Amino acid sequence: MGGTRARRAAGNRWREELRRFALGFPGAHEDFPWGESVVKVGKKVFVFLGRSGGGLGLSVKLPDSNLLALDLPFTSPTGYGLARGGWVSAEFARDQTPPMDLLYRWIEESYRAVAPRRLVAELDVRGGAGSAAPPPGRAGRARARPRSQR
């Protein structure tokens, strides 16, 4: 029973790290439109942060990398017709360790896809996603810039 509690706590910790990271983008704020946590820029959602049975689940808009993302075993097209717009969902069971660096890159790609140009420009001036609020325990680590910015 203690193992189940520990795995659920890990899922919540990962979710909280992703939430903090997403909220570090210019103009980002949290909302609960369907009883589920989402992070928006303006009125547009750029990440859905759900939980699946104590694990971790999220959905992001990936206009550039959605086909590559959908080749991964933990992803699927997002439902409700969102897949047509490049939305991808990822789910991780309690006993799985999510690839956090990949998820951070996906959140940034999703933000850039929906944010107004002036906020994307502000992000670029700040130095990209590495300037967004770093997740706990990751401060001081350099983040690789997306290839499009090298």
Query: Model confidence over 11-36: pLDDT tens digits?
Result: 688 899 999 999 999 999 999 988 88
Residue 59 main-chain phi, psi, to 5 deg:
-135, 135
21: Cα separation from own chain's centroid: 8
- Residues facing residue 58 across a β-bridge: 49, 90
Q: For residues 92 and 55, what is the distance between their CA atoms, to the nearest angstrom? A: 6
> Residue 4 has which token pair?
């189940």
pLDDT at residue number 147:
40
For 36-62, the pLDDT digits (tens) are 899 999 999 999 997 555 789 999 999
CATH code, 2-132: 3.90.1150.30
Nearest to 129 by CA among 42, 33, 59, 26: 26
Bigger pLDDT: 80 vs 129: 80
Q: Which of the two residues, 109 and 13, has the higher pLDDT score?
A: 109
The whole model's pTM is what? 0.79
CB-neighbour burial class of residue 128 (10 A; exposed 0-12, middle 13-18, buried 19+): middle
Q: Locate 34 and state its tokens.
A: 């369907």
